[in-house]
Amino acid sequence: MSNESSIAELKKICDQIGSEIALEVDRSNGDEIAGKLANLSNLLSTSSHACALSKQVYSQRIMELTLDIAYLKLSATDRKNIFAGRAKIEGYYMDLCEEQNKALKYSIEALRSMLSYLKQEMQHLQTQ
């Protein structure tokens, strides 16, 4: 798979994850919370795949730049700075995928807590 097609796939996955994370849910509706929890849980494996793919694409781009003869005579610091600029899109998606993966995990935990709270609240109402 080429870097361009990998980046297109990463963009698609990141857009999908970002849209799902951004969806609002009625915090008092257990069914909505459970539905969003299921959706986010399903996206977690996709997010992990995106993280791995983004690291692979970034590493491949850095390797291509390292092998470019135009940069051989530059100092290591100069090469590092140039490579960071030349691989900024790949680096952006690597960072975005990692942050979205974290956001998914935190959102899943928050939704689980909400469900647990609603369950306790229902049990409390039934005992009264």
Cα 88 vs. chain centroid, distance in angstroms? 17
pLDDT band at 124 (very low <50, low <70, confident <90, very high): confident
24: containing domain: 3-127
CA distances from 52 to 10, 19, 112 (A): 10, 20, 26
Please give the tally of structural domains in the chain: 1
The string of pLDDT tens digits covering residues 43-56 is: 999 999 999 999 99
**pLDDT exceeds 90 at position 72:** no
Kindly give, in sequence order, each residue whose CB lies less than 8 Å from that of residue 22, ignoring residues fewer than 6 positions away: none
pTM score, whole prediction: 0.86
Backbone angles phi, psi at 74, to 5 degrees: -80, 155
